[in-house]
Amino acid sequence: MVSGSDMYRQQILDHYKNPRNYGELDDATFEHVGENPMCGDTIKLFVKLAEDDDTVEYVSFIGDGCAISQASASLLSEELQGMSLEAIREMDRDDIVDMLGVEISPMRVKCAVLAEKVAQDGAAIYVGDKELDETTTEE
């Protein structure tokens, strides 16, 4: 057994190596992109809403970056299906950490929350509460 960080449990490695819902979505209701400027992690999220214009029917993503950022996006893409835009916007940092199921070291939290921030900004922009070209994780 290879000695490895607790951060890199099987689930994260699995989602990194085999990302779920990976790819662009032609008929997305909205899409949004985000970046970790310091790390170079990028995530572009595609969201297709159901007829009620509020429930997520399908999410896909493309991206590039470290295992933490890409696995988070993959896990999140599964989590978001069926959620309302309001529920997405109410998610917080703990939700993503719970989803990952591991302790994220403080220096890597930005990588972990990138996808979530992209989803939240994307939802806020779509309903007209925010104007933003691109999400960044720099405060």
Which spans of this chain sit near other proteins (rule: CB under 8 A)? 2-8, 13, 16-17, 38-40, 64-68, 105, 108, 111
Rank residues 81 and 105 by Cβ distance to other proteins and give the closer one.
105
Provide the minimum distance between the beta carbon of 118 and other proteins in the complex, in angstroms, as a whole number: 17
Report in angstroms the alpha-carbon separations of 52 from 2, 75, 83, 133, 137: 48, 24, 12, 25, 31
Rank residues 40 and 82 by Cβ distance to other proteins and give the closer one.
40
Provide the minimum distance between the beta carbon of 10 and other proteins in the complex, in angstroms, as a whole number: 10
| Closest by Cα among 137, 99, 98, 100 to 121 | 137
Rank residues 8 and 22 by Cβ distance to other proteins and give the closer one.
8
Provide the minimum distance between the beta carbon of 33 and other proteins in the complex, in angstroms, as a whole number: 15
Rank residues 87 and 97 by Cβ distance to other proteins and give the closer one.
97
Q: Which long-range contacts (CB under 8 A, 24 or more apart) does 86-95 make?
A: 86/54, 88/56, 88/119, 88/120, 88/123, 89/120, 89/123, 89/124, 91/116, 91/119, 91/120
Provide the minimum distance between the beta carbon of 54 and other proteins in the complex, in angstroms, as a whole number: 35
